[in-house]
A and B are shown apart, each in its own frame.
Chain A
Amino acid sequence: MADQQARPVPFRGGGFRPVSIRGVGLAVFVTLLLLAEWGTRTGWISALTLPRPSDVVATFGELWTSGMLFKHLAPSLTRLAVGASLGVAVGVSTGILIGLFSYIRSGLVPLVAALFPIPKIALLPLFVIWFGIDEGSKYALIAFGTFTPTVVATYGAVDNVDRTLIRMGQSFGMGWFSIVRKIVLPGAMPGILSGLRISLAIAIILLVAAEMLGAEYGIGAYILEAGSLYDLERLFAGVVVLSLLGVVVSTVIGQIEKRLLGWRV
């Protein structure tokens, strides 16, 4: 035994635990932009394929200084806020009802499953007839689009609330409303919030669709107009605004999660 070779035990653990590293995300953005800038300047990328990033920035600056940005942004944000809050509010309430009552669950789950895959954009003409060509149809489209994913996320979250906690509440003689308010709702909050991330991203997508019809101002209207004129710089400036909107929404939800879900392990 003594003369046998001793080797260290090979290490086989580790990995599978990604963490976020500061600055890497930014570096990816910057690299892609620099690549596009370099490509368009050298002519490696033709002007028809991609606008020059610096031109997009210039267009964006124009948009800002002329005050047109806010003229477009204000109605868009209103539509987003009204439509999404409507859809999320109705969606969360419906989801909780589905999660708690057998009849509502049996009746509405198939209906939601039938509504979910419908491209809401396809219903836009119908919404115009139902709610008018003005703001009504735009609110309805965004609300409808955020409603279905919110419902599905919410009732899934309610289903996942630990039943022993509910039994515990009952064993202390808590009433039905108390159990819903103090146990079911906070217990479902993580699922509802992660559903909200998806719902609100869909709301931003539908905002552009909603502004396809009869909108004079709005980010969507701005993008569509630029698109039909093949004005790539303006198109991309609009797209950047939408992207930023997405980042802002996601950050806000992240902050809410931090505040409300600090109890999670």
Chain B
Amino acid sequence: MDLRVEGLRHAYDALPVLEGIDLDIPSGRILCLVGPSGCGKSTLLRIIGGLERPTEGKVLQVGAPPEGCLNPLTYVFQDFALLPWRTVAGNIRLGLEEHRLPPGRADEIVADVLARTNLSDFADALPKQLSGGMKQRVAIARALAVNPAVMLLDEPLSALDAQTRELLMEDLISLWTRQPFTAVYVTHNLAEAVRLGHSIAVLSRRPGRIREIVTLDKPLAERIHMDADLEAVQEHLWTMMREEARAADAELLNG
């Protein structure tokens, strides 16, 4: 299943936040959205997943979601959004409870995603017992459990420290390599974008417009930390964003 964003415009009251957004999200690939703070990239992600209604334009699902997909558009949130009163397994089960699965199927799925995310030993732990990185792994496992057609990741690593971020990036890459998934990945971290994105859409500052879409051909598994090619792309992205970021920063100060 592909996603297509057509002629999207969004405004909060009189304040335009997104304008003239056209995007194609092909299946099996990761699209990164980068841009200065306040450029509306998270808003765009909420609109793509149907959590917010755009002022104009539409988001289309092209083709049917794959067989066995329980929740076509599934989010991973920046602050994890785990239910603190449920165990790891209980949190992962949450998305499955809405569907009438044959008895025992939910347990199989939970066990499977726990194994895929190396969380099997933590099935009965409560979120308060987990580190930030572990919590986000649980959130990723919860998203994988419903077998989404498109994963919508909203700055999933931004609340984590640099080392944990590196570990989780490796986890995401190995998950994708084993079983490619479609994803829209919002981040303000360019290093994440060049590591994980098959294509990177750069948004301008508010109102957000797409300035350029950079395509990276290097397979995800071959991209390593401090890769020279990736550094060049990152440098290119940063030159493009630098002035925008500065202006956006000043704009916030002016209120």
Contacts and interface: CB of A to CB of B under 8 A. Distances in A.
A182 interface: yes
B81 A164 contact: yes
Interface in A132-183: 162, 164-165, 167-175, 178, 182-183
A165 B146 contact: no
A162 B77 CA distance: 13
Interface residues of A, number: 21
Contact of A171 (B75, B79, B127): B75
A165 B75 CA distance: 12
B13 to A, nearest CB: 19
Given A167-B51, A168-B75, A172-B71, A265 B81 contact: no
A164 B74 CA distance: 14
A172 B95 contact: yes
Contact of A183 (B49, B77, B83): B83
A186 interface: yes
A170 B51 contact: yes
Given A263-B84, A265-B128, A171 B98 contact: no
B44 to A, nearest CB: 15
Contacts of B127: 263
Given A168-B81, A171-B49, A172-B74, A263 B98 contact: no
Nearest to A265: B128
A264 interface: yes
Given A182-B94, A186-B85, A164 B146 contact: no
B221 to A, nearest CB: 29
B51 A182 contact: no
Contacts of B86: 263
Nearest to B52: A167
A156 B73 CA distance: 32
A164 B77 contact: yes
B240 interface: no
A120 to B, nearest CB: 34
Interface string B89-127: 000001101100000000000000000000000000011
B73 to A, nearest CB: 7
Nearest to B91: A168
A171 B83 contact: no
A163 to B, nearest CB: 10
A186 B126 CA distance: 15
Contacts of A174: 94, 98
A197 B74 CA distance: 40
B203 to A, nearest CB: 22
B77 A172 contact: no
B81 A167 contact: yes
Interface of B: 49, 51, 71, 73-75, 77, 79, 81, 83-86, 94-95, 97-98, 126-128, 146
14 contacts: A165-B83, A167-B81, A171-B71, A171-B73, A171-B75, A172-B95, A172-B146, A173-B95, A182-B83, A183-B83, A263-B85, A263-B86, A263-B127, A264-B84
Given A167-B77, A175-B98, A265-B128, 15 more contacts: A162-B81, A164-B77, A164-B81, A168-B75, A171-B49, A173-B71, A173-B95, A182-B94, A183-B83, A187-B85, A262-B126, A263-B85, A263-B86, A264-B128, A265-B84
In order of increasing CB-CB distance, the 8 nearest A-B pairs are A168-B81, A172-B95, A263-B85, A171-B75, A265-B128, A263-B84, A186-B85, A164-B81
